[in-house]
Amino acid sequence: MNIAYKKTKVFISTALLAIALVGAGQSMAQQNKNQLPEIGTSAVSTLSLDKERIYGDAMMRQVRASMPLIQDPVLIEYINHLGNSLIRNAEGVNYQFDFFLINNKEINAFAFFGGHIGVHSGLLTMADNESELASVLAHEIAHVTQRHLARKLEAQTRTTPWTLAGMVTGVLLALVNPEAGMAALMSANAASAQASINYTRSNEKEADRVGMAILANSGFDPNGAPDFFKKMSAKYRYTSKPPAMLLTHPLPDSRITDSRNRAQAYPSRLLPVNLDFELAKARLRSRYSGEPKNNIKTFTAELRRQKYQIKEASEYALALAYFADKQYDAAEELLTELLDKHPNNLFFVDGLTDTYLEQKKYDKALTMLERLNLLMPNNQVVTLNYANSAIYAEKYALATNLLQDFLILNPGNFIAHDLLTEAYRKQDKPSQMHASQAEVYALLGLYPKAIDELHTAYNFASEKTLMKKRIKARIVQLQESENQLKRL
């Protein structure tokens, strides 16, 4: 799916968000200092699960607004499918996890409140196999299920409020901006900073142990973890600037040894090369880096020299490069052959849909996606491509119905709200368009803008209609969400 999104210019500091969370943590610590914690639940005296969800939701909205997220249904589908296959074998899962990709060549991954796990595209392209990538996700899942951020807040309640503010700001900021986060940690007094670093190392050891169990129990090769650790250590051993991941996830030699020893406690698995993993890497290499003409040369050479793990992945990358270079016939030929070999593969379906739309072969796209929609109803790749194709074909009612049904089950899907806004705009339905645009702003945490859009939608709505009642109710909901954050 290849949509030119309207980029909203918003400048939001992660540090400011972290400071707001610090204030909340201090406030809760003061309110709860004389209350007994719930038996058997760690960190609850500082941060309840409900509060974690609220903070996680707030942070995710800020991340959407301030970081280069990859809003790509195919890659989102892949990383969430992989993540959820690991979640099924994890203990202490208290949330519906959300995995997302950031378009950044830095090697990094991080987890924060509410089950949100971010992965930089550079980490995925560095992994040699799916077990290596899965080992990183399993590690981050362990950070969440063991509630390491909440436990850190609880540990810091024994320090002074000023030190607590410095430490928590540094820890939270370090998740998404490690260099700034480490600077914030250094600004606290030395003794407390050292205690925090030691606590972080303890967390890392626990996350390694729990993550290894999740990885092995999910059917992946447990050696994926030490193999990835060893690769990172070798690549950055003599560099003056380590990758972001090593700033937040220190990697001493003892940790690599411990990881290798843990892996030996599980059966080693020799797994076949995973097609979707290789296609995800190919998509990142072709669509999100390099120039189209250079990419065509690169992938053509790979195929000629047979320098690939799976031939279809290099062919797919070449097809996407042809598409980016507006060589649509060449892209269609390759993608059609690939889809014939692997019917219903969503990577190939998505690429062929984009190609059909650029060639104005709308009927071909709609026919293909109508069949798949019956086979995989409410699959995000199929539904969003189907709705996008319907908009191109000026079948706006079809697009609207598809997106409305999809959003009932996936209310937080940014792409769906954006497409629905466009569908309403094309139909000249200003009330619905502004109401839908409000949801886009809300997902970015821009509540005042969202409420303004809803007021505009209200003014366009007909008198005494159900639409007006819904808009008024939504305004109240968003005002309450905004006030809830202020109260925190």
Among 57, 77, 130, 140, the one annotated catalytic: 140
Q: Looking at 16-105, which runs of residues are DSSP E strands?
A: 98-102
Alpha-carbon distance 319 to 350, whole Å?
12
* Of 286, 211, 217, nearest in space to 255 by CA: 211
Alpha-carbon distance 395 to 27, whole Å?
52
159 is written with which tokens? 């320090």
* Contact call for residues 93 and 86 (beta carbons, < 8 A): no
* Of 20, 15, 14, 16, nearest in space to 486 by CA: 20
Among 52, 77, 208, 422, the one annotated catalytic: 208
Q: By three-state DSSP, how is residue 7 classified?
A: coil
- Of all helices (H) and strands (E), which one includes residue 42? none
Pairing of β 116-120 and β 98-102: parallel
Cβ neighbours of 247 (radius 10 Å):
16
Tell me whether residue 139 is annotated as binding. yes
* Of 241, 151, 240, nearest in space to 196 by CA: 151
* Contact call for residues 159 and 165 (beta carbons, < 8 A): no
| Alpha-carbon distances of 165 from 143, 175, 312, rounded to whole Å | 21, 16, 51
| Alpha-carbon distances of 121 from 8, 147, 252, 333, rounded to whole Å | 22, 25, 24, 28
Q: By three-state DSSP, how is residue 35 classified?
A: coil
* Contact call for residues 171 and 152 (beta carbons, < 8 A): yes
Alpha-carbon distance 459 to 462, whole Å?
8
* Contact call for residues 454 and 478 (beta carbons, < 8 A): yes
Tell me whether residue 130 is annotated as binding. no
* Contact call for residues 258 and 205 (beta carbons, < 8 A): yes
Residue 370 is a catalytic residue: no
Residue 50 is a catalytic residue: no
Tell me whether residue 116 is annotated as binding. no
| Alpha-carbon distances of 162 from 17, 175, 367, 420, rounded to whole Å | 17, 21, 62, 46
> Binding site: which residues?
139, 143, 204
Residues tagged active-site? 140, 208
Residues forming the annotated binding site for Zn(2+)? 139, 143, 204
